[in-house]
Structure 1
């Protein structure tokens, strides 16, 4: 039997994002796989170097659509390090709340979304509907549901009102009440176990060699989370756990995402209780007016724990009104390129979307 070339994506309903995998198969077995990004946004790094510092705030969220806020915080933190700016305390707590809401929204979408390639469409519908409740919060807070442009260098764009805080409390209670339903529908489902248990295993050594972080690494037993190993914002002032597993398979990766949701709920509740009441939520950075501010000379790297692992921005300023260099450390870059080529050969055709879903491959941050 000879090899047949199959195109999985970018328009396949099982593809996660605007991405493509060219598969060379014999029967149902993948013999060779080649990732093909570049069907959506491209060249963010060079685009950022051609725009004013503040103009980039509307550009960077698009580097990863499901979790845009991590780009805002990394960019802002790097600039704040260079300019040696102290962000108001209330703004720091608000940033934490936004990031954890984004984490819940992405996790619940991904956990429900695993039902797509498995034929469990009820889970997919649940995930989209419940994520929408968090998008309602973002819309009330920033005026936008997907690209918020809310976290800015120096703080956040505007204050969080008591009405929005109440909205967050109610949404957290609702999401928490829904978790047993997800547990019963997905993680106690025989089909899910047969499709995910013992499939697409990544060992600790393979994960470390490839540079995988996030649940891909924690599923191998490594408790590595930037919020713990290098705390930013006020993560060292709240209590939360980092769930881990040891099997390193597709099931473990999805289940860890699910187990992180109540931890994010716990963090947000603590942040709402600890956050001081204040009017000031941002400070000016650099010299100049409006978009044409000048950031002092210097360089900085800022990283955070995204839903896919370590996500970072390396920013260089030459003292002008535009960045001299911006480099993005995309969390899904290793598993989205090297991982596909090395670890998909030998698997079955139906395992390909499972790899993309459980390893959280976000296409735009690869071809950035």
Structure 2
């Protein structure tokens, strides 16, 4: 009777997505943890291998619900490399608008979401409301709020609607002023500081051992390893931005870096709106026949980008037929969301388990994909 088994998720409000962690506790200390993915739509890699190339566009955004556009981008990049498709100039800039807005939406949910497991419910209420303003922009651009199917092989599905640049700019002005409120509410909140400072520490050697990238690695190493910098895609090499880093990766530091990254995304978006071509095609012609029966040339490729949680990649193999032969997704949160939970969540206090998941940036479908 010394050891008690408890469940975090899939319906617990502190759980991120349809995912469960089976925890064995002694008192309030976790002594063993076992992540249990597979609570909703999973097995995306095999599903992709059984669908036509273009049909997968409706499936792949679901691999990470809070930042779905990253999958559209990496999938499109992989096909474009295999088929040697040249993306129109304007489409590169539009893609950056979508990706950076998605990054901000993700960071808002994570940054404000820390209020859930700490009892600061103003945080998620504010963050979800402000994220909804981004979804309004997505809806106007793509016709959908969450799953957009907008970034497609060859570019984007359609051009930006008239006047959307002004709306994005107005939102950026609002959000930049709003960030001071978030700083006061979260980063300067004594309760948040008490619950996150010097807690859930991710040492550099552990980050390297697990293969953690993104904020987890940058906050532990002090190195600005960001795919947008080290292997630029779209037109990230034509905009200026900084990559926030630190040398001590506790939960509080990771929250602070998310806060700083929102400002950098605002900075990127303003440059994109200024530099983006006003005219031109937004989608290359990829097939002379039925696009649904498109045969991508045989070959293999690895494409990767920087998402809000780190390096996100697809390894894709085509055998020249109407469906992908093999697809492997390198989910950015797999190392800390699977291996990290099993090895390093033990020793954490029970009431800090949800903070662990939030500040480590775990997106459940990336694990059992």
Q: TM-score under structure 1 normalisation? A: 0.99
What SS does structure 1 have at the residue aligned with 2:163?
Answer: helix
Q: Which residue of 2 aligns with 1:68?
A: 68
The change in CA–CA distance for 1:158 and 1:151 in structure 2 (over 3 A counts) is: same
4+ runs deviating over 6 angstroms: none
8 Å contact 1:105–1:131 — kept in the other structure? yes
For residue 128 of structure 1, report the CA deviation from its aligned partner: 0.3
1:342-361 aligned within 5 A: 342-361=343-362
Q: Which residue of 2 aligns with 1:325?
A: 326
Q: Residue 246 in 1 paired to residue 254 in 2?
A: no
Q: Deviations over 1:246-281 (max 9, x none)?
A: 111011111111110010001011011111122410
For residue 287 of structure 1, report the CA deviation from its aligned partner: 5.2
8 Å contact 1:103–1:307 — kept in the other structure? yes
For residue 32 of structure 1, report the CA deviation from its aligned partner: 0.5
Give the superposed CA RMSD. Answer: 0.9
What SS does structure 2 have at the residue aligned with 1:219?
Answer: helix
Distance, in Å, in 1 between the alignment partners of 2:89 and 2:248 is 40
Q: TM-score under structure 2 normalisation? A: 0.98
What SS does structure 1 have at the residue aligned with 2:67?
Answer: coil
What SS does structure 1 have at the residue aligned with 2:317?
Answer: strand
Q: Which residue of 2 aligns with 1:202?
A: 202
Q: Deviations over 1:224-263 (max 9, x none)?
A: 1110111111111000000011111011111111110010
8 Å contact 1:285–1:295 — kept in the other structure? no
For residue 192 of structure 1, report the CA deviation from its aligned partner: 0.5
| Aligned residue pair count | 368
1:158-169 aligned within 5 A: 158-169=158-169
Q: Which residue of 1 aligns with 2:301?
A: 300
Distance, in Å, in 2 between the alignment partners of 1:296 and 1:122 is 51
Q: Deviations over 1:291-331 (max 9, x none)?
A: 11111111111100000100011111111111111110000
Q: Which residue of 1 aligns with 2:290?
A: 289
What SS does structure 1 have at the residue aligned with 2:74?
Answer: helix
Q: Which residue of 1 aligns with 2:98?
A: 98
Q: Which residue of 2 aligns with 1:311?
A: 312
8 Å contact 2:140–2:161 — kept in the other structure? no
Distance, in Å, in 2 between the alignment partners of 1:228 and 1:302 is 15
Q: Which residue of 1 aligns with 2:79?
A: 79
Structure 1 gaps, min length 5: none
Q: Which residue of 1 aligns with 2:119?
A: 119
8 Å contact 1:288–1:294 — kept in the other structure? no
Distance, in Å, in 2 between the alignment partners of 1:273 and 1:161 is 16
For residue 286 of structure 1, report the CA deviation from its aligned partner: 4.4
Structure 2 gaps, min length 5: none
1:131-146 aligned within 5 A: 131-146=131-146
Q: Deviations over 1:39-96 (max 9, x none)?
A: 0111111111111100000100000000000000000000000111110000000001
Q: Which residue of 2 aligns with 1:227?
A: 228
8 Å contact 1:287–1:295 — kept in the other structure? no
Distance, in Å, in 2 between the alignment partners of 1:40 and 1:168 is 33
Distance, in Å, in 2 between the alignment partners of 1:162 and 1:256 is 34
1:165-184 aligned within 5 A: 165-184=165-184
8 Å contact 1:68–1:146 — kept in the other structure? yes
Distance, in Å, in 1 between the alignment partners of 2:223 and 2:69 is 26
Distance, in Å, in 1 between the alignment partners of 2:189 and 2:163 is 39
Distance, in Å, in 1 between the alignment partners of 2:127 and 2:323 is 39
Q: Deviations over 1:96-147 (max 9, x none)?
A: 1100000001101110010000000001100000000000000000110000
Distance, in Å, in 2 between the alignment partners of 1:319 and 1:347 is 49
Distance, in Å, in 1 between the alignment partners of 2:15 and 2:63 is 18
Distance, in Å, in 1 between the alignment partners of 2:289 and 2:357 is 44
Distance, in Å, in 2 between the alignment partners of 1:167 and 1:149 is 21
Distance, in Å, in 2 between the alignment partners of 1:47 and 1:342 is 30
Distance, in Å, in 2 between the alignment partners of 1:131 and 1:59 is 23
